Structure 1
Amino acid sequence: MVKQFLALGLVAGLFITSCGKKDETNTEAVQTEQSGENIAPFTADMAETAVIYEVNVRQFSPEGTFAAVTKEIPNIKKLGVKVLWLMPIHPIGVEKRKEGLGSYYSISDYRGVNPEFGTAEDFRALVKEAHKNGIYVILDWVANHTAWDHPWMKSNPDFYEKDEKGNFISPYDWTDVVSLEYKNPALRKAMIADMKYWLDEFNIDGFRCDMAHMVPTDFWAEAKKELANGREIFMLGETEEPELLKNGVFDAAYGWELHHIMNDIAKGKKNVSAVDVYMDSIQHKWEKDDYKMLFTSNHDENSWAGTEFERMGDAVETFAALTYALPSVPLIYNGQEEDFNRRLKFFVKDSIDRNPNAKMRGVYEKLGELKITNEAFNGGKNAGSYERLKTSDDQAILAFKRKKNSTEAYFVGNFTKVAQEVIVPISGTFKNFMTGEEINLDGNSKVKFQPWQYYILVQK
């Protein structure tokens, strides 16, 4: 849903990784191009090396169609993407529509397809092409509310919340939608049936659940049990409530807190110590196998808070690298690989621009390669460990070690807009993963970093 109240944050860095063994099982299962529409069933292991790509179908191309997305899937795959998240594809309500074509999150039919995007068969072809390229597909699911002209408003008014006067309720200022009432068992049954329809009829692999914390946790637990039914599906919750990840209800949550910290560091409002406080808090708030989706942008941030270039300036590339370095599943919002630097309009047609000379496409391709091939950067339930390393300036420099099995990785970065000379407690001769240059560190001498400079280094 549109979240005008969301905000800022992130960081930058230097990577030093030991090349280590690849996680052969995960890499083969995720990387192998499938034949036909077949794909290895989703398992929790797939998330260890996953990159998520968010598609805003309307704005993805001038056509704004499923077919246009399908055509681009081979290029999306080159970014290392393993999960394709499509923003809501359902018909949009007309009654009380805010403006233009309306909000994707005002749904009038959970089993329908928005005709501006194409047909159900066009969507089926998209899923098949994604699966052929080894990419899982998840749908954005809006369970908290519907459009005012959803059929349930007439057939099942008891599915909706009402105030003390018997009036239907809109959450926040979202006047184009009406809240659902989860105390009603019949609503729960109907919602689960509609979710199951997409799993069974279109062979999708899971859901990104909008404003998941606004729906009772016990509903999600009930839904997950019935939807999985002996198979694993990927469930991403738009939430930072640890309760929603307990007992396997959701696989991953949002990294909003870190995102805001990153924006604040970029603007000079905070320093690296804020990241340390955040990372220390995780062990107290979250269970060991919980993990987050980290991002420098998404549909809400781009439209309402500004592009990553507006919020992060010269540090955009470094912040992107950090989302891959920390234990997480990183996100690319469509257009970020194109160096796209404009706020997309939310309610009307406004497509991204393609840039054949985009710098960030190459950056994301390399980061995706690192994520897939180096198990220290595993970011799911069995993520590589995280160990903070002390430098001679821990307010300006972030340094940490990632390790899994025999593979070790080190991240070090200057998170300021001025040059820094610091002692980094790492020794060895490494190759810069991004450029191929040789880097020598002795663990005692000062290392000079330019503003927001980062490296990804692997052992030679």
Structure 2
Amino acid sequence: MRTDDDPEPTPDAIVEQQLDTREPFAVWRHREPIYELYVRHFSERGDFEGVRAKLPELKALGIGIVWLLPIHEIGSLDHIDAPHGNPYAVKAYERLNSEYGSEDDFRALVRDAHALGMSVIVDWVPNHTAWDNHLIVEHPEWYVQHDGAIQPVGGDFGWIAQLDWSNHELRDYMTAVMVDWVRRFDFDGFRIDFAHHMPVDYFVELRAALEAVKPVFLLAEAGEPRFHDAFDMVYDWSVYPVLGDVAHGRSVTAIDDALYHQQLLPYAARPDALVMRMTYNHDDNGKFTLAARYRDGIRAFAVLASMLPGKPLVFDGQEAGMRVFDGTAVQDSINLGHDPQITIDWSDPDGFRPFYTKLLQLFRANRALHQPSMADFRKLDTRPSDHPYAFVRRSGDHAVVVVVNLSEHAVDVVLEPQPTAGAIDGTYVELFTEQETALYAGQTLALQPWDYRVYVQGPRASN
């Protein structure tokens, strides 16, 4: 949205608009899966040009939103992860990390993403700064202080300084910088780090300012529905934490309890709100390996996370099995850290890429999965009920029935949908085998340990 005070669009800007092949914002905010990446690790080059060159791979995977982990100039190098630093310690909000390339390189990345029908969001870290951020000297009054000393963020975060979000000058400054970034680079939104530690009313003001420039997608590092007053999407901090427990023997009723009480009920009044589903993310990278968390059920839990109401997330290298070269040997899902010598092994010996491609392309193609709201979700009762998990999602003539065995034991699963779930009887195509299959109430499915079935009516892959 332009105002009379805005400059006329340049010829280059007009060309970029013509090359933008995306669906309208109201469509892609629901339809597109999200991928988070470290610029430093995603490619051999470790820069914007490296990401740009691999955008077609992400498009083929089924990704529509590319989330760049922080790309600011990094500070606090003598406090953490020396000599490379931690990107969540921002030295200057005004500047890109020059190691990743120039401003023109970043613009080219965004432009190419748009031409491929993809959107780009940037990880922004407004809650705190590096200790060598220029604001420490220029505006110490913008920080939380005790006895005249600027305070660190609590807990294990002594390497960053806590900003004071009751200060309205700070709010005005941060909003102005973020609006300027959107104007200059034309990317499509932000993931807000530590949002759960900040006031929601600020983000309501921020969103209004950003949307005066263009529609933006905002992701909060928070899990409470109240954040949807300003944000399109929050983290799944309800179901995601119990998935690993279920892999280690806890009953699937733990999933039901979290889903029903913490999401389906509260979100009934917020039909346009989104929850980010995942089995891994950058905060957990290094805390656990996928195999330790999900045992041999890595794929089964990925199916579950991708098909539940919300939007699926894939983390940097997860589509290749999350194998990491530590400088000596390749290991499974160890910490990428911030050392550029630590690299992702993209060889994918276990065939995760075609698996994720089928899931993500289905999500994009089938309206039952990416429609607004969670109201379509219907749990399907099963016998036995302790470790199989089944549900159906519908939208018009599109339907997806998911049945997963979340245990190490083979099981014969009897589908016993209650009347409230509606009829499942009909002909489907199973996503992974591509075989046409008849489903009906009372049917028995023989599932091997950690087995999964995804039965589809309607499209299975997007254009």
TM-score relative to the length of structure 1 = 0.87
Tell me, what secondary structure is at the counterpart of 2:184?
Answer: helix
Closer, same or farther in 2 for the Cα pair 1:337/1:36, shift >3 Å?
farther
Other-structure match for 1:338: 320
2:257 partner letter: V
Alignment of 1:95-106 (within 5 A): 96-100=78-82, 101-106=84-89
Aligned counterpart in structure 1 of residue 403 of structure 2, from 412, 417, 442: 412
Other-structure match for 1:363: 355
Would the aligned equivalents of 1:327 and 1:377 in 2 still touch at CA under 8 Å?
yes
Shift of 1:36: 6.2
Separation in structure 2 between the aligned mates of residue 225 and residue 352 of structure 1, nearest angstrom: 39
Q: Which has the higher contact order (CA 8 A, sep 6+)?
A: 1
Residue 377 (structure 1) aligned with residue 381 (structure 2): no
Other-structure match for 1:9: none
Separation in structure 1 between the aligned mates of residue 71 and residue 244 of structure 2, nearest angstrom: 30
Residue 136 (structure 1) aligned with residue 119 (structure 2): yes
Aligned counterpart in structure 1 of residue 71 of structure 2, from 89, 104, 112: 89
Tell me, what secondary structure is at the counterpart of 2:150?
Answer: coil
Other-structure match for 1:329: 311
Shift of 1:365: 1.0
Shift of 1:356: 5.3
Shift of 1:115: 1.8
Mean alpha-carbon deviation: is it higher for 317-326 or for 354-363?
Answer: 354-363
Shift of 1:348: 2.0
Separation in structure 2 between the aligned mates of residue 230 and residue 451 of structure 1, nearest angstrom: 51
Would the aligned equivalents of 2:49 and 2:109 in 1 still touch at CA under 8 Å?
yes
Shift of 1:130: 0.8
Other-structure match for 2:4: none
Other-structure match for 2:231: 250
Other-structure match for 1:197: 180
Closer, same or farther in 2 for the Cα pair 1:221/1:354, shift >3 Å?
same
Aligned counterpart in structure 2 of residue 436 of structure 1, from 421, 434, 437: 434
Shift of 1:306: 1.9
Alignment length (residue pairs): 421
Other-structure match for 2:204: 221
Separation in structure 1 between the aligned mates of residue 392 and residue 53 of structure 2, nearest angstrom: 39
Separation in structure 2 between the aligned mates of residue 230 and residue 41 of structure 1, nearest angstrom: 18
Separation in structure 1 between the aligned mates of residue 62 and residue 399 of structure 2, nearest angstrom: 21
Segments of structure 1 that go 5 or more residues without pairing to the other structure are 1-33
Other-structure match for 1:52: 34
Separation in structure 2 between the aligned mates of residue 42 and residue 458 of structure 1, nearest angstrom: 26
Instruction: List per-residue Cα deviations over 1:29-88 (Å, max 9, x = no partner).
Output: xxxxx9864244752321222100101111212321111111000001011111000000
Other-structure match for 1:117: 100
Shift of 1:417: 1.0
Would the aligned equivalents of 1:55 and 1:85 in 2 still touch at CA under 8 Å?
yes
Other-structure match for 1:62: 44
Would the aligned equivalents of 1:42 and 1:232 in 2 still touch at CA under 8 Å?
no
Aligned counterpart in structure 1 of residue 289 of structure 2, from 307, 310, 325: 307
Shift of 1:429: 3.7
Alignment of 1:264-283 (within 5 A): 264-268=245-249, 270-281=250-261, 282-283=263-264
Separation in structure 1 between the aligned mates of residue 21 and residue 150 of structure 2, nearest angstrom: 43
Closer, same or farther in 2 for the Cα pair 1:37/1:107, shift >3 Å?
farther
Instruction: List per-residue Cα deviations over 1:316-372 (Å, max 9, x = no partner).
Output: 111111122111110011101111223134232212111154511101111122112
Tell me, what secondary structure is at the counterpart of 1:105?
Answer: coil
Separation in structure 1 between the aligned mates of residue 45 and residue 292 of structure 2, nearest angstrom: 27
Aligned counterpart in structure 2 of residue 293 of structure 1, from 276, 279, 292: 276
Aligned counterpart in structure 1 of residue 343 of structure 2, from 331, 343, 351: 351
Separation in structure 1 between the aligned mates of residue 354 and residue 106 of structure 2, nearest angstrom: 29
Aligned counterpart in structure 2 of residue 400 of structure 1, from 391, 396, 399: 391
Shift of 1:143: 0.9
Alignment of 1:145-156 (within 5 A): 145-156=128-139
Segments of structure 2 that go 5 or more residues without pairing to the other structure are 1-15, 323-331, 417-423, 459-463
Aligned counterpart in structure 1 of residue 453 of structure 2, from 440, 452, 455: 455
Other-structure match for 1:260: 241
1:231 partner letter: K
Would the aligned equivalents of 1:400 and 1:412 in 2 still touch at CA under 8 Å?
yes
Shift of 1:442: 3.9
Separation in structure 2 between the aligned mates of residue 384 and residue 360 of structure 1, nearest angstrom: 31
Mean alpha-carbon deviation: is it higher for 291-300 or for 403-412?
Answer: 403-412
Tell me, what secondary structure is at the counterpart of 2:122?
Answer: strand
Shift of 1:99: 2.2
Shift of 1:398: 1.3
TM-score relative to the length of structure 2 = 0.86
Shift of 1:384: 6.3
1:398 partner letter: Y
Mean alpha-carbon deviation: is it higher for 141-150 or for 351-360?
Answer: 351-360
Cα RMSD of the aligned pairs, angstroms, is: 1.9
Would the aligned equivalents of 1:245 and 1:251 in 2 still touch at CA under 8 Å?
yes
Other-structure match for 1:318: 300
2:376 partner letter: S
Closer, same or farther in 2 for the Cα pair 1:92/1:42, shift >3 Å?
farther
Closer, same or farther in 2 for the Cα pair 1:179/1:424, shift >3 Å?
same
Alignment of 1:175-190 (within 5 A): 175-190=158-173
Other-structure match for 2:421: none
Would the aligned equivalents of 2:183 and 2:213 in 1 still touch at CA under 8 Å?
no
Taking every aligned residue pair, what percent have the same amino acid on both sides?
32
Instruction: List per-residue Cα deviations over 1:215-236 (Å, max 9, x = no partner).
Output: 1111111111111116321000
Would the aligned equivalents of 2:278 and 2:302 in 1 still touch at CA under 8 Å?
yes
